[in-house]
Each structure stands twice: as structure tokens, then as C-alpha cells.
Amino acid sequence: MKNLRRKGYYVYLLSSLGGVFYVGYTDSLTKRIKQHKEGFYENAFTKKYKVNRLIYWEVYDTQNEALIREQKLKKLSRENKIELIKKYNIHMNDLFQDIELLEKLNFYK
């Protein structure tokens, strides 16, 4: 994972309380996660299965790098995703409040 102190393209993993995973990418992590949490897209997979807990993210300089990484993460087995997540978030906690705090402190945009 790279430093969040700059604008970039984010690849992220969400989970539901039941353990359903979702991999996505965005250029505005806070905005996109808020959309997932609020069920912004009526027919979305994440709304249907309540997949709205941010458990992992990475940041890239280019959209192409992020898209390539997103596709690689989507192809990982469930076990490999869990292994990756637990390297940085051992208890698989929702990290969204940490992101909001960093944004309020003007740590990144």
C-alpha cells in the first residue's frame, strides 16, 4: 500500500458482517465508501448483500494501475483475499472511520 497523502486511484475491499466480499476501484475513496454505506445504487450487489465495511485499500498513481490491480484482486481465491487483508487488518475491522478522520485532518484528499 502506498501513502495516502496525495490524490490517486484506490482499489478497495469491502465485506459484509456475514463475510461477503466486494472488490472495487475509485478515484475518491471517501465518497465511494459513503455511497456503499448509504446504498446509493438501488440494485447494486453491495446494497443487496449489505457489503459496506471497508476492510482494505491500496492507492495507485494511475487509473490503469488501479484497474489492473482490481482485476488481480477479483481473481484471488477467498482464502488469498483473507490472507492479504489480515496482513494489514488482522481483525478485519471497518476502516472507514479512520479514512474519515484522516480526511478531516486534511491528511489526504
- DSSP calls for 17-40: TT--EEEEEES-HHHHHHHHHHT-
> pLDDT tens, position by position, for the chain (109 residues)?
444 445 789 999 999 999 999 999 999 998 999 999 999 988 899 999 999 999 999 999 999 999 999 999 999 999 999 999 999 999 999 999 877 666 655 555 4
* 79/66 Cα distance (integer angstroms): 22
Q: Which residues contact 69 (CB under 8 A, 6 or more apart)?
A: 11, 25, 58, 60
Report the number of distinct structural domains present in the chain: 1
CATH classification at residue 83: 3.40.1440.10
Q: What is the pTM of this model?
A: 0.86
Domain assignment present for residue 1? The answer is no
In a domain, 96, yes or no: no
Is 98 a domain residue? no
Please check whether residue 4 lies inside any domain of the structure: no
User: Does some domain include residue 101?
Assistant: no
